[in-house]
Amino acid sequence: MKKRILLAFILVGFNAVAKSQTVIPLYPDSIPNSRPGPDEEKSEIRNGVLIISKISRPALTLFLPPKGKANGTAVIICPGGGYWVEAAGHEGADVARKFNEWGIAVLLLKYRIPDDQTMVNKEIGPLQDAQQAIKTTREHAGEWNIHPSRIGIMGFSAGGHLASTAGTHFEQAVISNSRHTSLRPDFMLLIYPVISFQDGVGHNGSRDQLIGKNPSQDKKDLYSNELQVTDRTPPAFLVQASDDDVVKPDNSILFYQALLKHKVPAEMHLYQISGHGFGMHLKNSREEWMDRCRNWLAWNGWL
């Protein structure tokens, strides 16, 4: 009984915070690449974690700092969940509030879950939503006290795959962009990210969900973002634990090495112990990776 009361309290608390923010549909008109159907989205608490599933109506939740505190930087956050669900609390709203304390605006992205029932082509659905989020943020920058050249993207786990895809596939628009707004994020924050879809390295669950269980090698290469890094890839900050038994640390390492090869500014922190899905807090209570993140942002002129 006490456990159920606690979980109910967590959910009510999160909903109260969410309702205090501005939530806008990601697409002002129709949702591209979508099939008609009922809205079956569901929010629940699983093992103390807020989980949103069956997302077919993407949205942005705006966490804007007070005007006097805003420094012009914005971060679009993509929570993780294996492209099956989204952990919107400890990999979303909690992080957004911390960034707001630093004067950073946050656009929490609720991106579509890849599904043949709701999408014509499920492999591009999440990327469409990430590109639309970048486009929307740039086009509303003045209204939201954001500098249009200080817009980063952050992703956890499979959300890290989406964020790194946005950071390496921006040359090819998969959305309507009549104003030719830049779809390139200015920096990436990748936290225990899925990066590769190569056999033996990538997270098979995320790969299966996004591009199917029997993808061609060309398709695996296309969505292995360590192979898509160029000189124009934005700077990146990476965090992972060496004992991550869900997403291999090789994902961060391979991406970091690709960034170095192309002389893209990058910083990586590999911690001995913390597993996967630790959100903002490592198991080592004496170390806070968010402090390292803040230092990196400041060093690069985003704070």
Res 16 pLDDT > 90: no
**Which residues, other chains included, contact 252 with Cβ-Cβ below 8 Å and sequence gap of 6+?**
190, 192, 193, 195, 238, 239, 240, 268, 270
Order of strands across the sheet that contains 74-78:
22-25, 59-63, 105-110, 74-78, 151-156, 187-191, 236-241, 266-271
Determine the Cα–Cα distance for residues 265 and 279; give it in Å rounded to an integer.
Answer: 24
Confidence (pLDDT) at 128: 98
Percent of the chain with pLDDT over 90: 90
Res 149 pLDDT > 60: yes
Task: Report domain extents, the chain.
Answer: 2-299
Could you identify the residue written with the tokens 């061609």? 216
Res 279 pLDDT > 90: yes
Selection from 205, 170, 204, 206 nearest residue 186 by Cα: 170
Averaged over 11-39, what is the pLDDT? 79
Let me know the angle formed at the C-alpha of 147 by 296 and 136, rounded to the nearest 5 degrees.
110
Res 6 pLDDT > 50: no
Res 14 pLDDT > 50: no
Averaged over 231-242, what is the pLDDT? 98
Write the pLDDT tens digit of every residue in 114-136: 999 999 999 999 999 999 999 99
pLDDT band at residue 20 under the 50/70/90 scheme: low
Confidence (pLDDT) at 286: 87
Confidence (pLDDT) at 13: 45
Confidence (pLDDT) at 284: 78
Domain 2-299 CATH assignment equals 3.40.640.10: no
Mean pLDDT of the chain, nearest integer? 93
Q: Report the DSSP pairing between strands 266-271 and 236-241.
A: parallel
Confidence (pLDDT) at 4: 47
Res 45 pLDDT > 70: yes
Res 103 pLDDT > 90: yes
Sign of the torsion angle spanned by Cα atoms 303, 61, 46, 196: negative
